[in-house]
Structure 1
């Protein structure tokens, strides 16, 4: 989910009235967009010339699509003369509390559930400054707060309908090992160890084994193994 909190300050009462009418028009058009979750307009009780909008979208792509719509571009153009300064948008991340005592196994099972449901917020919240993710077939490591979300965003770009079926998941203290089958349809460019694989439209499945070390409810280290050559045989057999 992608949420923005927008602040708009009108110059005077006449501008505030025009701004409010324009906000209502923008709201009516925005709620018809496919990625919308909520679009709410507020007026400050302490500052009657100030408006706030809280808008939530299913994902970053839906929010970006909204930002490029003709009705938003018209709103931006129309409001330039009504505002004391250009309006600002603060991006918000939902904060969720894991139940006390949530096990490491449950956290990692939640990761795969989030992959299947495309819940990017859950995946991103598993990252921290100390996180590392190693894609073993690529011999490529990502680090930092986005170390967990970035590999999955890249994978979804190649296989938008990607899912993971967990066959076994075992925890040993802070270490969790998950084995299963990944599935998805090849619809994006795949910059693989065998070179660029253009979209083939092939519905693939691949065996994987991921090893995680957790710290304070986040992923300290992830080593992701999958059968790249089995995958290559499905997507581009001519390269074998």
Structure 2
């Protein structure tokens, strides 16, 4: 993964590279443009660097005519994705992208996280899929709302705690359809609604839902 650098900035931003969308962060201190190891996002910034036209050109945007405000919101969201990647995981940086009263809503199971518990969000997926990557397919920015169609990809290498017990990892690959809706204010995430195709994910992990058992209970 090629890392683009920018000196003397106070927060991390992200750029799209290669054919799909790989997320690379620009750290708060100068970095080599050929550096390939994991970088940690800045945790104490009140400003977000602007995305360049070159960076924007590599993103799957539905509208490239973004205001400066919209570009800054997009940079915050892209950084949140970067620090949730398996090879650049940083739960504290993920939490920092949220407002103090910010909330993450896992919409399909109906579970919400706030405060320090927000750090559990990237850690959960990375626990199942250590190489987790989010392939961003379509991005729409409308003022303080960023809507993204994406796919969560990875290899099932971590144990999965199911209602029936622990499912052992089997090395199967997943490519899970997902829709994310980010709502920001003053450069921070106030609400993040995430819709993950869990049924597809479980099938790809080799987990079969026992419908017959459910029917026989009635």
Q: Which of the numbers 146, 157, 172 marks the counterpart of 1:176?
A: 146
Instruction: Give the alignment partner of residue 48 of structure 2, picking from 85, 98, 110.
Output: 98
Please state how far the C-alpha of 1:190 moved relative to its aligned partner.
2.2
* TM-score after normalising by structure 2: 0.60
How many residue pairs get aligned? The number is: 149
Contact 1:105/1:169 (<8 A) preserved: no
- The equivalent of 1:5 in structure 2 is none
Residues 16-69 of structure 1: per-residue CA shift (max 9 Å, x gap):
xxxxxxxxxxxxxxxxxxxxxxxxxxxxxxxxxxxxxxxxxx79xxxxxxxxxx
Output the CA distance in 2 between the equivalents of 1:195 and 1:189. Answer: 10
8 A Cα contact 1:177 1:211, kept in partner: yes
Match of 2:123 among 153, 171, 177: 153
Query: Is residue 115 of structure 1 aligned with residue 84 of structure 2?
Result: yes
Q: Deviations over 1:171-192 (max 9, x none)?
A: 1121111111111111112235
- Which structure has greater helix proportion? 1
Q: Which runs of 4+ in 1 moved over 6 A?
A: none
Is the Cα–Cα contact under 8 Å of residues 160 and 184 in structure 1 kept in the other structure?
Answer: yes
Q: Which among 130, 134, 149 is matched to residue 164 of structure 1? A: 134
Residue 200 of structure 1: how far off its partner (Å): 2.1
How far, CA to CA, are the matches of 1:192 and 1:111 in structure 2? 27
| In 2: Cα distance, 1:164 partner to 1:208 partner | 9
Give the number of the structure whose alpha-carbon radius of gyration is greater: 1
1:193–1:212 distance in 2 versus 1, CA, 3 Å = farther
For the residues of structure 2 that align with 1:148 and 1:239, how far apart are their CA atoms? 28
Q: Secondary structure at the match of 1:171?
A: strand
The TM-score with structure 1 as length reference comes to 0.55
The alignment's C-alpha RMSD in Å is: 2.6
Contact 1:181 1:205 in 2 (8 A): yes
Report what 1:217 is aligned to. 187
> What is aligned with 2:14?
none
**How far apart in 1 are the matches of 2:150 and 2:162?**
21
| Cα separation, 2, equivalents of 1:108 and 1:220 | 12
The answer for unaligned runs of 5 or more in structure 2 is 1-37, 51-68, 211-218
